[in-house]
Structure 1
Amino acid sequence: MAKEVLATSHAVLLPRWASGDVAIEPELLAIVSAHLEVPLLDGAARPDALIRGMAQEIEFDVLCVEVRVHHAVDEPKSELLAANGLDAIEIDLSRLTDDAVADLAAFRYEVLENPRNRRWVHLSHASYVAQRADKALIEVEDPTFSERVIITKAGRPFTIREQWAFLVKPGSRGRVRIQIPDETVGEDAVPYPRGMHAISGRSITVDGWGRLRLRYKMYLDQIQMNPPQPEGPQRGLFDADNGSEGPGFNVRVRDWKGRPGW
């Protein structure tokens, strides 16, 4: 029943998203198209509904919607969606009474509009987060990296490992080259994983012409949002971290080696 409601409706409410001092309140997603049980990732995932829609001026090309009746989305499926950069929400109907199911208006409200019964399984839409939170983020789509050698002032060769990513600011999205911190020099390089990453203040600067520049050594904090207690205490999105796993997001901490350059 819920899938049919989604397939024939014009809008669905997105869940609240929060990370420390940054929060995005629930808002309606205008549904452009909806298809049921479309196989994704060579059949490894088959969401109850696959929606394309608009949250004001931000477009969601692919939004997976899962309806919970007996079982919530499990960890392997959540990790699969996250690893492939797929946005997904879960609507929990497991507590509905028979009367609520029989009342069509009440049932449609639960499926489409109740802000208390839905959560983000995974949110990777950096443009949406940057616009609503008014923050600049780094979006990584490709985990592959390349290497190039530069000659230092002392005349010695130095290998730099880099990835291509996007600097996403409210209203813009520009391709940038980010450098994997040099703690991996001489070891197996560990690229930044796909997803959204917060930029700490030590990683950005503004040049004499007012243009945003990324520092020579990039240190990014990966944002993996789905706090088990959204209203509980969380560290700020751009706060310094001691490397532990917080309730709101996981931070990949890298230690500085030497004086940061450009």
Structure 2
Amino acid sequence: MAKDVLATADAVLLPRWASGDIVIEPESLAIVNARVEVPLLDGAARPDVLVHGMASDIEFDLLCVEIRVHHEVDEPKRDLLATNGLDTIEIDLSGLSDEAVADPITFRREVLENLANRHWIHLSRASYVALRADKALIEVEDLTVSERVINTKAGRPFTIREQWGFLVKPGSRERVRIQIPDETVGEDAQPYPRGMHTISGRSITVDQWGRLRLRYKMYLDQIQMNPPEPDGPQRGLFDAAEGSRGPGFNVRVRDWKGYPGY
């Protein structure tokens, strides 16, 4: 019944997200279209409803909606959604009374408008987060690391390894493609994982061809947007976090082996 409601609705309320002093308030997502049980990732994921919609001026081309009646989204599915950057909300209808289910108006309101029964399973829409948090972010989609050779000031060849990402600025409708240096000198290349990363504006430079790059020795910090317990304690979005879970970011710590010469 909830799938049918979503498939024919004009809008659905997105959950609130908060971490420290960063709060993304709940807002209505205008639904452009909605499809039921569309297979994704070669059939590895099949959300209850797949929504395409607009939240103010931000487009969600793919928003997965999971309906909880008996079972919540489990940990393997959470990891699958996060690894592949699929924005997902869960609407919990497990506590509805028989009377609420039988009343079409009440049931529709519970599915579409009740702030108390929904939360984010995964949020990775960088343009949405950057605008609401008023922070510039780096978004990584491609894990490919390319190599090029330059000469250092000492005249020695030095191999630079780089990965492409996008600079996402608050209020900007366009993402800017940017080259991210890999700092693992003398080691196997370790690409930055998919998702959102914090970066200081002072880290951005322009090369001789006018392309945006990030300075070497300036690590990106991966933002962990999704706490395992929606109602649990939350760190600040831009405060360092221990472990791999919870809001805040994980600092990419590595020892340098070698010196690039500049």
TM-score bin (small chain): 0.7 to 0.9
Contact 1:122 1:224 in 2 (8 A): no
Of 214-223 and 167-176, deviating more is: 214-223
Helix, strand or coil at the partner of 1:251: strand
Structure 2 residues without counterparts, runs of 5 or longer? 207-211
Cα 1:260/1:236, change in 2 over 3 Å: farther
CA distance in structure 1 between the aligned counterparts of 2:64 and 2:36, rounded to whole angstroms: 10
Deviations 1:200-250 (A, max 9, x none): 4663479xxxxx87323331111221222557341341x4x3754563245
SS at match of 1:105: helix
Which residue is equivalent to 1:137?
A: 137
Q: CA deviation at 1:153?
A: 0.7
Q: What one-letter code is carried by the residue in structure 2 that aligns with 1:96?
A: L
Q: CA separation of 1:173/1:261 partners in 2, compared to 1, >3 Å: closer, same or farther? A: farther
Of 178, 181, 202 in structure 2, the residue corresponding to residue 179 of structure 1 is: 181
Coordinate RMSD, CA, aligned: 2.6
CA 236–67 in structure 1, closer or farther in 2 if over 3 Å, else same: closer
Structure 2 residue aligned with 1:156: 156
8 Å contact from structure 1 (residues 180, 218) kept in 2: no
- In structure 2, the partner of 1:232 is 233
Residue pair 1:243, 1:252 contacting (<8 A) in 2 also:
no
Contact 1:82/1:122, CA 8 A, preserved across alignment: yes
**1:110-137 deviations in whole A, cap 9, x for unaligned?**
1111111111111111111111211100
Asked if the contact 2:137/2:169 (under 8 Å) is kept, the reply is yes
Cα pair 2:140 2:193 within 8 Å, conserved: yes
What percent identity do the matched residue pairs reach? 70
Report the alpha carbon displacement of residue 256 of structure 1 after superposing the two structures with TM. Answer: 6.5
Structure 1: tracts of 5 or more residues without a match: 207-211
CA shift for structure 1 position 253: 2.4
Q: Which residue of 1 aligns with 2:209?
A: none
Q: Which amino acid aligns with 1:131?
A: L
**1:151 CA drift (Å):** 1.3
Distance in 2 (alpha carbons) for counterparts of 1:20 and 1:188? 36
Q: Deviations over 1:86-130 (max 9, x none)?
A: 111111111111121112222111111111111111111111111
Please say if residues 137 and 199 of structure 1, whose CA atoms lie closer than 8 Å, have aligned partners that are also in contact. Answer: yes
Deviation at 1:40, TM superposition (A): 0.8
Alignment check: 8 A CA contact 1:203 1:217 kept: no
Check if 1:7 corresponds to 2:7. yes
TM-score relative to the length of structure 1: 0.88
**Which secondary structure does the structure 1 equivalent of 2:222 belong to?**
strand
Are residues 202 and 74 of structure 1, via their aligned partners in 2, closer, same or farther at CA, if it must alter by over 3 Å? Answer: farther
Give 3-state SS (helix, strand or coil) of 1:116's partner. helix
Aligned to 1:247: 246
